[in-house]
């Protein structure tokens, strides 16, 4: 096999806003009038377990919010969490769509996300139709930047690292993928991503990109 055959994508920070990082947590905590310091402490205690699907959404919410009676329900809080998701202003989604339409590459996610938000985001933003596989922390029980998550993706897809690209907005995640020989791209905007993909031999039609931008 010659050249790039597989492109692995982060979701939050590349295609969409982050699922429930500090900015999103602060917005939801403020909406419901919770104590931010207490919530952050409780969140930190169970965040990794939640993203690795070792605890359920109900268990996460009980530990962080509903350890005492509230004037709102877990469903309302979870809905507010989901509502924080949106397309990034300079999303890479139009590039993803062009690559998916070309049917020349295997496209997969490699992302850290809890099951409740991951499955909502994939469906809500039509990502199920763009990707061929989903290597999410909630399915694999391992999180970036652990090198194992990238190795699992390579093993399952039966790809050598030199034939794969990984795109992420966080340098530590890109570095972990690159340590296995995967071509790493740190996402800093759609124009920069287009240029770096073209340097790796992946042609992108500017006319089609503009049309896909309008559709996004």
pLDDT at residue number 27: 98
pLDDT at residue number 214: 47
- Rounded CA separation 103/178 (Å): 25
* Residues whose CB is less than 8 angstroms from the CB of residue 85 and which lie 6 or more positions away in sequence, other chains included: 16, 17, 19, 117, 120, 121, 124, 125
pLDDT, tens only, 93-107: 999 999 999 999 999
Q: Check if 6-17+86-215 and 22-82 are the same fold.
A: no
pLDDT at residue number 2: 75
pLDDT, tens only, 176-204: 999 999 999 999 999 999 999 999 999 99
User: Contacts for 73-80 with beta carbons within 8 Å, 24 or more apart?
Assistant: 77/28, 77/32, 78/116, 80/28, 80/31, 80/32
pTM over 0.85: yes
* Residues whose CB is less than 8 angstroms from the CB of residue 106 and which lie 6 or more positions away in sequence, other chains included: 5, 6, 7, 132, 133, 157, 159
* Residues whose CB is less than 8 angstroms from the CB of residue 161 and which lie 6 or more positions away in sequence, other chains included: 154, 180, 181, 182
111: enclosing H helix or E strand = strand 106-111
Using CA atoms, how far residue 156 sits from 75, 103, 215, in Å, is 35, 19, 33
Structure tokens at 22: 């500090």
- Reference 8, options 95, 108, 100, 138; nearest CA is 108
Cα–Cα–Cα angle for 131, 83, 170, rounded to 5 degrees: 55
pLDDT at residue number 212: 42
What's the full length of the chain, in residues? 216
- Rounded CA separation 106/76 (Å): 37
CATH fold group of domain 6-17+86-215: Rossmann fold (3.40.50)
Stretches where the chain sits below pLDDT 70 are 1, 206-216
**Domains of the chain by residue range:** 6-17+86-215, 22-82
Architecture of the structural domain at 22-82:
Orthogonal Bundle (1.10)
> Within 13 Å, how many C-alpha atoms sit on residue 48's CB side?
6
């Amino acid at each position: 096999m010659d050249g790039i055959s597989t492109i692995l994508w982060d979701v939050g920070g590349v295609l969409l806003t982050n699922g429930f990082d500090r900015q999103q947590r602060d917005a939801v905590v403020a909406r419901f009038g919770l104590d931010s310091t207490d919530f952050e402490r409780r969140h930190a205690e169970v965040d990794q377990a939640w993203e690795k699907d070792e605890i359920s959404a109900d268990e996460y919410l009980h530990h962080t919010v509903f350890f005492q009676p509230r004037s709102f329900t877990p469903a309302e809080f979870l809905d507010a969490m989901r509502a924080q998701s949106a397309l990034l202003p300079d999303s890479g989604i139009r590039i993803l769509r062009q690559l998916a339409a070309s049917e020349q590459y295997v496209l997969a996610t490699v992302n850290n996300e809890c099951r409740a938000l991951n499955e909502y985001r994939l469906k809500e933003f039509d990502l199920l139709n763009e990707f061929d596989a989903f290597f999410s922390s909630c399915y694999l029980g391992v999180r970036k930047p652990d090198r194992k998550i990238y190795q699992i993706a390579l093993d399952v897809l039966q790809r050598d690292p030199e034939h794969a690209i990984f795109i992420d907005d966080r340098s530590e995640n890109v570095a972990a993928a690159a340590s296995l020989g995967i071509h790493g791209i740190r996402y800093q905007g759609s124009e920069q991503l287009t240029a770096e993909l073209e340097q790796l031999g992946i042609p992108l039609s500017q006319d089609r990109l503009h049309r896909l931008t309008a559709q996004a």
